[in-house]
Structure 1
């Protein structure tokens, strides 16, 4: 039995090696068409995620000038999307459930956000939120020549990119993207973003520098993976931010986010005034 098991393992290993070798010898896809495919798929992901709720765990560390951790906070949340807008309900802070008073405040806040999200176009910020999807990032970037790499045991096509200075942008997040450079790993079979790494190559002034300056060298990474068998959805990220904020000296933070426990759901803001997650019936 052991010999048969080992032979089977060797067979599958050899098959995987041959498949990867055949993939690496295949011509690289046309860069423009690949980016179009990825943007189209990512927009579909951003649309389909409306049908899911998930949990997120965020850890934020304050750092001193030498990189030593001076303070750590953690948050656990229930997350979902309404009309393209991210809605987040905090359920724990530093590992402890919220008090009854804080839970009530969260419920009231989430209910207001859901009601406003339903009336706010998906391409406009909600309550001052400044976010940008991967699909939009790709649209305002110049990309370099593609290459192949194996990422998490899957063939990927890899591009380096840099923000296009003359790109037409809307809002602070898109404008900040013009100051980014980075690398993106695209799953070759599924045409989905598997991994993204970006760095600010120049300082970015928020409100002309009146509110804050995000400093050169601040960096972020983002991961996606197949969820529920085939659907690609975010699984987490990590970042280091250096900034100078009005009335505060220098801020240095390291943050980590993990997204997990995806479930399909519906949000009925009219029947459910508390805007709680309602699981779909089979």
Structure 2
């Protein structure tokens, strides 16, 4: 992993010394903001550029440049003699690392991406109103850091990102930040403008020698563009619109081939409280029977690792056989209905961009093309296969005309596509804005709720679901 990565896979051992009653994260963060200049002043820093040099090197030689933009973006550029040695960036939509200029590029996924995005959000917000970004927090322990008793606070997200901060019990300042692979200690706090900033930073990474950096320059509110945090786009031109249309046209054939398979699905549901702790967990295992033309029938196998009783399993088997037989009898009617709906959509929307004239029969694909703009198309390797990767976000000025477009226009994320098979390898999306169900009468899904979906390719070329994850925060009114 590139040295500029915001996260990794090692583990720093911790042996917390617990105290009696610990202050809440809200109180600790509030005292920190007061100590560095006050919440209002800190919140007034909308973006910042920090330049650091390695301790002992020639003064004025920048070794690390960090750029941040509220509420969720951070970029780190490592410099060697003025040349770019590597970059890493993250925002709520994407996280990536690159070696040098134009070198190996990787869009992060899983725990790496979650940790990188959480680091970026906390740093860019400077902890101001961190809960608005769906960040959870809990105070864990009282420990000794750099000769001062310190409160250890763990910040987390529902999708699995976890970062630890140590706040001085006396100074109220951040003394250390760590994740599973990186530990950073801060010291020599001095005023920059009317805000206190650490002027000494010691970074320690798993398996690497620690290095100490000295702050040489800070610039606030320079108007950093959002584009600074986007992944580098490929030098070649990649026609994303054409690729998405081909994926849509391939989907019907894929659905037909998938119906020749059955597979097992394990579903885990976790309820997490506002401290990032799991309150409840349920595990369900199904056998999945895809059916021609789309859809599927599920057969329950076990609940919470307990197999069904003989009697219940027999009832479940009978139900599945009956449902499959019913679907087979009604399949011809379903195909005729879909053909009529397809024809009606073509007549109704034939004059709209992306539908009819371009062959976008799938209303979801058509809505996606209309509502979204595509950012930084690039080529990467993903699970040992070539991939075209691009970010997407709401198209500026787009006005939705139906419910599908309203939802899609609130989404931002990343897509990985196999350019040979024209199949989606992975899709990540998050709600940039809240979404109401039933006009808000039934439920309201909060911003930051997200999902990820991944497919895997079998030896015969069929793509089957490999993984999906939904992390949602919602108010339900029932």
With the shorter chain as reference, the TM-score category is: 0.5 to 0.7
Distance in 2 (alpha carbons) for counterparts of 1:148 and 1:33: 16
1:156–1:69 CA distance, 2 compared to 1 (3 A): same
> What secondary structure sits across from 2:262 in the alignment?
strand
Q: Quote the residue 1:218 is aligned against.
A: 449
Q: Quote the residue 1:51 is aligned against.
A: 260
Q: Quote the residue 1:152 is aligned against.
A: 383
1:51–1:98 CA distance, 2 compared to 1 (3 A): same
Greater RCO between the two (CA within 8 Å, min separation 6)? 1
> What secondary structure sits across from 1:51 in the alignment?
coil
Further displaced range: 142-151 or 49-58: 142-151
Residue by residue over 1:86-144, the C-alpha shift from the partner in whole angstroms, topping out at 9 and shown as x without a partner, is: 211111111111123432443454355435545373788xxxxxxxxxx6543321241
1:89 and 2:302 matched: no
Q: How does 1:103-114 map to 2 (within 5 A)?
A: 103-107=313-317, 109-111=319-321, 113-114=323-324
Residue by residue over 1:158-206, the C-alpha shift from the partner in whole angstroms, topping out at 9 and shown as x without a partner, is: 122236765665xx77764443221101112322211110101122211
Q: How does 1:182-221 map to 2 (within 5 A)?
A: 182-221=413-452
Distance in 1 (alpha carbons) for counterparts of 2:442 and 2:319: 25
Bigger Rg, structure 1 or 2: 2
Return the structure number with greater helix share: 1
Distance in 2 (alpha carbons) for counterparts of 1:235 and 1:106: 24
1:25–1:197 CA distance, 2 compared to 1 (3 A): closer
Deviation (angstroms), 1:25: 8.3
1:179–1:76 CA distance, 2 compared to 1 (3 A): same
1:184–1:96 CA distance, 2 compared to 1 (3 A): same
Residue by residue over 1:6-25, the C-alpha shift from the partner in whole angstroms, topping out at 9 and shown as x without a partner, is: xxxxxxxxxxxxxx99xx98
Distance in 1 (alpha carbons) for counterparts of 2:268 and 2:438: 27
Question: Would the aligned equivalents of 2:433 and 2:448 in 1 still touch at CA under 8 Å?
Answer: yes
Distance in 2 (alpha carbons) for counterparts of 1:173 and 1:76: 31
Question: Would the aligned equivalents of 1:28 and 1:147 in 2 still touch at CA under 8 Å?
Answer: no
Further displaced range: 141-150 or 105-114: 105-114
Q: Quote the residue 2:248 is aligned against.
A: 39
Question: Would the aligned equivalents of 1:85 and 1:117 in 2 still touch at CA under 8 Å?
Answer: no
> What secondary structure sits across from 2:472 in the alignment?
strand
1:175–1:90 CA distance, 2 compared to 1 (3 A): farther
Q: Quote the residue 2:281 is aligned against.
A: 72
> What secondary structure sits across from 1:150 in the alignment?
strand
> What secondary structure sits across from 1:144 in the alignment?
strand
Give the alignment's TM-score, normalised by structure 1. 0.65
Q: How does 1:258-269 map to 2 (within 5 A)?
A: none
Distance in 2 (alpha carbons) for counterparts of 1:149 and 1:183: 13
Q: How does 1:107-186 map to 2 (within 5 A)?
A: 107=317, 109-111=319-321, 113-114=323-324, 117-118=327-328, 119=330, 121=334, 137-141=364-368, 142-145=372-375, 146-162=377-393, 166=399, 176-186=407-417
Q: Quote the residue 2:99 is aligned against.
A: none
Alignment: residue pair count: 214
Further displaced range: 199-208 or 26-35: 26-35
> What secondary structure sits across from 1:41 in the alignment?
helix
Deviation (angstroms), 1:151: 1.7
Distance in 1 (alpha carbons) for counterparts of 2:305 and 2:299: 15
Residue by residue over 1:223-253, the C-alpha shift from the partner in whole angstroms, topping out at 9 and shown as x without a partner, is: 1121134222211111211111124xxxxxx
